[in-house]
Structure formats: structure tokens, C-alpha cells
Structure 1
């Protein structure tokens, strides 16, 4: 009986094994690596970041990183794109100013995060030297959010607050540009009432009735 039990356990274990040649990528290790990327970027920047440093911070071997990404550039682009894909919310507060105000609040909170304030300027500087990075960041930081701005504009048109033909890219630039300048370039605080004033200014600039 003991032998039968042992054989049964072995058979079950064998069934759970991955097919020969297939690498099983553990989700907990993948999550640890992704988190380590942001920590490394904030600590040393893209230029000094290494696969070795990421692996050490994640508590995995270099092989675990290379099984998932072939270089640090592809690793960073994948991680940043995944975060950006989560994107801004598509608010529907009932007014253009309300929608813009909600988007500004979310964007300001994200840009004030200590890691974001270190990582985003560093990656943009790297993009000036790397066309591949520039293209990926454009997609991650701008194009992925354009759909949200388009939805806000479309709802405002339906409500009669805006006329047809408002450029969604212009709307996105007006919403995010001032925050980027204040929080990441000038590195100034956002005073009380600033987001309310900015949302009103954006609505007027877009031609709100």
C-alpha cells in the first residue's frame, strides 16, 4: 500500500511538471522584477541601471530576468508601458470642468509620487539619445492617454459644452502640460485651488460654453 501511495504521488507530480523544454515563469518573480525596475530607476537612473542590479534587488538570478526580457531597454519599456496602459480614468462627472478636474487630480497624484518624479525626467532624457525609447515613451505617456481625452471631449460635445472638432491631443496637452511643468520641471508645490483654477482655464481654452 505504501508503495502504491508513493507511485501515485510521483505520477501526480509528473503531471504537474511543465513539458520538456518549457520554462515556467513564476508570477511572484515577475512581479518582484517589475517592482525592482522602478526602484532601480529611481535610485540610479536608466544609464547606470543593470540587469545584475535589478536581479539583486528582486532577489532572483540574472537568468530569471533574461528569461522574460532580452535587455534592460526592453524590460523598462515593457514595465513602463504596462503601467501607462492602466492609464487615467475616463471620468463622467456630468460637466467638462468636473471631468477635467478629476483627471488633473489623478495626474497630480501620480506625478507627485517620489518614484515618478525621479523616473519620468530620467527616461525623457534617455529618450533624447534613443529613438526606440522616444517612440515607446510617446506611446506610453501620450498616445495611451489620448483616448481618455477624446472621451472627455466627446461627452462635452454631446452635452453642448463644446463644438465639434476640438482636438483631443490639444486637450490632453492642456491638461497635463502645466502639471508636468510645475511638478517635474520647476518642482514646485500645487497650491490650494490650483487644480480648480486650472480645470476652469482648460475648459475655457477648449471653447467651453
Structure 2
């Protein structure tokens, strides 16, 4: 008897968590997040926009942080991923061009600065952003670096974290912080500047490891 009652409760609970309702809640969360920001975001305003009761949200998540974390982990945030364009310079230009388009979207300009601001805090949301969004972005840039190394355009020991900063930082700052235009001319200029910086970084890496390589050869 006890087992049948438990099973009945589980079935009823599972039936309440309709995927379409969850998607509607997430859509409403994104809209409200863009409208008021994470700090002012509340479960009540999300429920109101989604047309459901607050109980529908709390059956799924314990609060807004838990909900946003689940949303990031489940549906993710779109990142720039570049297929092989044949050269490092072409890869960089495509990356920067695609990044400009992605960051210029209305939802991106409203949501991303707010979410990334959370990364300066020691919260579960901050950890989720780092382990999902930031990790995927680093892997995307690492693919560009790996191809350049295979072509002989960059040193294998080049600092990939620095490469990531050089690729991701300027465009983010330009669009989401200073709010300056990013036309083709700017993308071309930034491509040249980034290429020069990566070449200098690669040469510095080569100079740093060359003495150790010579010392290794003389001791053999």
C-alpha cells in the first residue's frame, strides 16, 4: 500500500513538470533578465510573464540562481566557433566578425554584461558560468591555436590563455562596454592588431624556450 502511494505521488509530480512549461519559464526568464538584470530579477516576475504560478517554478528550482544555472547548463549560451579557414589570419578574422555579430544582438548587449558581472562574485552562478560558457569559449579558441601550430604559424608552447584574452577581450570591450561601432573596417584593423600581437607572443615563447633547447643539446 505504501509503495503504491509513493509511486502515485512520483507519477503526479513528473506529470506536473511539463517540458513545454519549463521552456516557457526559461523564455520568460531570459526576457526579464534582459529587462531588469540579474540583481532585480525575481521568481514572481518570471512566473507572471510565463503565465504560471510561482509554485510551478519552485517545483523545479529552489530560487532564481538555481534556475539560471539550470538554464545555462541545459540550453547554454551561444559561442563563436570557427571552422578551418585555411590560415591563422583568416581564422581570426572570421572569429572576430562572428563575435561582433553575436555580441551586437539586443539580448546579448543586455544579458551578457550582467551575467559576466556575476563572475566577480563567489557564487554558484559564477562557478556555473566559468565551467560551462567560459570553458566552451576557451575550447573554441584552443582549436584555432591548435590549427595554427599544425601549420607552423604559432609556437606549440604559446600561452593559450593569453591568446584567448587577445581574441575575446577587445571585441567584448568595444561592443558591451564602450558601445562603439564595429564595422568591417574595425574588424580588419583588429585582425591585423591581433595577428601582430600573436606573432610577437609566439616569438617571445620561442626565445624563452630556445636557451633550454640549446642547453639540452650540449648536455647530450
Q: CA deviation at 1:138?
A: 2.6
Map 1:48-197 onto structure 2 (within 5 A). Answer: 48-84=40-76, 86-197=78-189
Tell me, in whole angstroms, the C-alpha distance in 1 between the residues paired with 2:101 and 2:74.
18
TM-score (ref. length: structure 1): 0.81
Q: Any unmatched runs of 5+ in structure 2?
A: 1-7, 204-220
Tell me, in whole angstroms, the C-alpha distance in 1 between the residues paired with 2:96 and 2:76.
16
Tell me, in whole angstroms, the C-alpha distance in 2 between the residues paired with 1:54 and 1:61.
10
Q: In the alignment, what sits opposite 1:11?
A: none
Q: In the alignment, what sits opposite 1:14?
A: none
Tell me, in whole angstroms, the C-alpha distance in 2 between the residues paired with 1:74 and 1:82.
12
Residues 97-132 of structure 1, C-alpha deviations (whole Å, 9 max, x = no match): 111112212221121111221122223334444533
3-state SS, counterpart of residue 133 of structure 1: helix
Q: Is the 8 A contact 1:110 1:116 kept in 2?
A: yes
Tell me, in whole angstroms, the C-alpha distance in 1 between the residues paired with 2:194 and 2:75.
26
Map 1:28-43 onto structure 2 (within 5 A). Answer: 28-43=20-35
Q: CA deviation at 1:29?
A: 1.4
Tell me, in whole angstroms, the C-alpha distance in 1 between the residues paired with 2:49 and 2:64.
14
CA RMSD, 1 decimal: 2.4
- The number of residues matched between the two structures is 193
Tell me, in whole angstroms, the C-alpha distance in 2 between the residues paired with 1:84 and 1:20.
29
TM-score (ref. length: structure 2): 0.77
Q: CA deviation at 1:152?
A: 0.6
Residue 20, structure 1, aligned to residue 8, structure 2 = no
Q: Is the 8 A contact 2:81 2:95 kept in 1?
A: yes
3-state SS, counterpart of residue 184 of structure 2: coil
Residues 96, 139 of structure 1: CA spacing in aligned structure 2 closer, same or farther, 3 A cutoff? same
